[in-house]
Chains A and B, each alone.
Chain A
């Protein structure tokens, strides 16, 4: 028989109509011979058509032998071992297969292996489940938990806060402290003694809130916050919850709240106390203005001490969000220091000035930052998106993959809307992530390295500009995409940290100058005059790495950094319009009411091409002061 191409490629189909068993059964050979031939065919494990060829040939062989006078018994004894024959025949036949047949068969086998492999991968991937085993929030709460109750500021604040229904911001419980310009609703700030009736109602409110204010002053100077964070609102005791979430009073409490770490991710943890500190410091700011008006220096200083302490407490436990709030509070405290120290109504003693100087630098911005919280947050995230083999390794779970692909998002973020087709493709392709995405061990090891490098990088002096971010670390963005998903905005915090540090140290330098004046009867001619007795070291301009500049006149001292343009403008600040847009200073009309000096707390490191300096002292510099400087 001459084989056609089709028969060669698809011998099984081509010969399906006549199987080798039929051929053998219809032969006239005796049973024992048929059995031997069948044994050979079966054990050859060839295709049906190939077996048919072999069987046909062996039948012919036995029939030929018998026809030529040899009996079947002799022919069988000459045949040899059927199993050995099957093995050799198989080898010979396989070698005999055409190249196209071999390729096709190889392709089919490879395809089957691939499909089976994928099915296994799909099954393996989709049975992956995270089993959180570590309560990282408890680790984060360790300091608070080990603080004796008598040293916990939270327990001082709590009851009064719950009673006052302490809700942050305008429209809340202390709406009176916000000044509103009826003609311009967006022009809103804290009320000033010059605001007439609005000031009167703010004072009235403060007068009625003496217990709360005193509680803030007492609690604010305690170094430990002592609040143990919970996964969810109802994880707190009722007393804690009503103080932290005043609006939750009317919220229905679930029958069985799930408060354990097994079911609650750490990214659902809120920092309610940090938010309420902002409102506290605003109230204290307005009360400090009132204290100045009443010439009550002691109260004003206690308010400043409480504000600085709250900045420290807001950053406990160490989370970057808390650190950022802490920086903001220090900035507000610096502004209040400006109002108190520059006030002509308060005749501050050297001891009082020293207390303020100590308060403003007691908790430096650099002490309020650590990546500890973020790191624990990340480890918690990993234990909820990876399986755990018990030896520190595991693979990404379907839920983790969905987070990575954006089908699911962290709480607060909006999930991407995807079509059914997109979701199906994602579902089918997800198992391949086991090949592409880093294993748990790789991820955690890389994260450890990244967090260590970031921590080191964060505290590199800003002017050295050697910050290394996630992208510069040479990390495979595809393999470690999940790391990028929760990567902290370290550079943003670093900028805020150095700005706050210069702000508070520059403010402390100004207080030192005031102390010098009280002692010496004149202003220091340079910052060096203050070294040793009034300050330990010269504060640094983070942008240049040089000491902050101090100039003095009969009116007082001026402390500033060269600013973004790194050019000394003699302490003339950058200008902003009423909409807070920074302006170039050239040919600027400072008598224009729409132009005002940039407050120290609003200085932006990124505005590179703007003229003017970053003026830290005097605080709340006026247009008149700028015009006075320009006239010189």
Chain B
């Protein structure tokens, strides 16, 4: 089952910001960790990730820096800005309220464990 595009459009950026809250990361690293930590639900390709990162950067929620990594190659690292942190806080509360509301409605009882994110997002 694929997660609907509109739902993922709201959840994806929050998931990325949540991940970056633990420290700066480069693109592939974000893709990998999102997929692993979300049990494959946030499995997104580059065509989704990078536009999302550029949008977050345009909004001032993340910032990027080019650095030479341990393997000697140059990569672009993304980190959460203070504005991003505030936004993440706000999003967290919203998500908590949403999950709580959905649970109260009994929406989460039959949740599919292996739900994967749509590539078309």
Residues in chain A within 8 A of chain B (CB atoms) = 1-2, 40, 53-54, 56-58, 60-61, 63-65, 67-68, 78-82, 84-85, 88-89, 91-93, 95-96
Residue of chain B at shortest CB distance from A2: B65
Residue of chain A at shortest CB distance from B48: A80
A89-B119 in contact (CB<8A): no
A1–B66 Cα gap in the complex (Å)? 4
Q: Which of A54, A60, A61, A92 contacts B52 (CB 8 A)?
A: A92
B53-A67 in contact (CB<8A): no
A85-B28 in contact (CB<8A): no
> Across chains A and B, which 9 residue pairs bring their CB atoms closest together, nearest first?
A92-B54, A85-B47, A88-B51, A80-B47, A95-B58, A64-B28, A1-B66, A80-B45, A96-B58
Residues of A within 8 Å of B38, CB to CB, are: none
Residues of A within 8 Å of B57, CB to CB, are: 92, 96
Q: Which of A60, A65, A95 contacts B54 (CB 8 A)?
A: A95
Residues of B within 8 Å of A79, CB to CB, are: 45-47
A64-B26 in contact (CB<8A): yes
A56–B74 Cα gap in the complex (Å)? 8
Residues of A within 8 Å of B26, CB to CB, are: 60-61, 64
Residues of A within 8 Å of B50, CB to CB, are: 54, 57-58, 61, 85, 88-89, 92
A70–B59 Cα gap in the complex (Å)? 32
Residues of A within 8 Å of B103, CB to CB, are: none
A96–B56 Cα gap in the complex (Å)? 9
Q: Which of A2, A63, A85 contacts B73 (CB 8 A)?
A: A63
Q: Interface size for chain B: under 10, 10 to 19, 20 to 34, or 35 or more residues? A: 20 to 34
Return B25 CB to nearest CB of chain A, in Å: 11
Return B50 CB to nearest CB of chain A, in Å: 6
Q: Which of A56, A80, A81, A96 contacts B76 (CB 8 A)?
A: A56
Q: Is B89 an interface residue (CB 8 A)?
A: no
A-B contact pairs, 17 of them (CB 8 A): A1-B65, A1-B74, A54-B50, A57-B27, A60-B73, A61-B50, A64-B75, A80-B120, A84-B47, A85-B46, A88-B50, A88-B51, A89-B51, A92-B51, A92-B55, A93-B54, A96-B55
Residues in chain B within 8 A of chain A (CB atoms) = 26-29, 31-32, 43, 45-48, 50-55, 57-59, 65-66, 71, 73-76, 119-120
A57–B119 Cα gap in the complex (Å)? 20
A553–B14 Cα gap in the complex (Å)? 116
A420–B57 Cα gap in the complex (Å)? 56
Residues of B within 8 Å of A67, CB to CB, are: 71
Residues of B within 8 Å of A82, CB to CB, are: 47
Return A147 CB to nearest CB of chain B, in Å: 84
Q: Which of B29, B52, B71, B119 contacts A80 (CB 8 A)?
A: B119
A57–B59 Cα gap in the complex (Å)? 20
B48-A65 in contact (CB<8A): no
Residue of chain A at shortest CB distance from B35: A78
Residues of B within 8 Å of A84, CB to CB, are: 47, 120
B51-A60 in contact (CB<8A): no
Beyond A65-B28, A89-B54, A95-B55, list 18 extra A-B contacts (CB 8 Å).
Answer: A1-B65, A1-B74, A57-B75, A60-B28, A60-B76, A68-B32, A78-B45, A78-B46, A79-B45, A79-B47, A82-B47, A85-B50, A89-B51, A92-B51, A92-B53, A93-B54, A95-B54, A95-B58
A93–B48 Cα gap in the complex (Å)? 14
With A2-B65, A84-B47, A89-B54 in contact, do A57 and B76 touch (Cβ < 8 Å)?
A: yes
Residues of B within 8 Å of A96, CB to CB, are: 54-55, 57-58
Residue of chain B at shortest CB distance from A92: B54
Q: Which of A2, A53, A85 contacts B51 (CB 8 A)?
A: A85
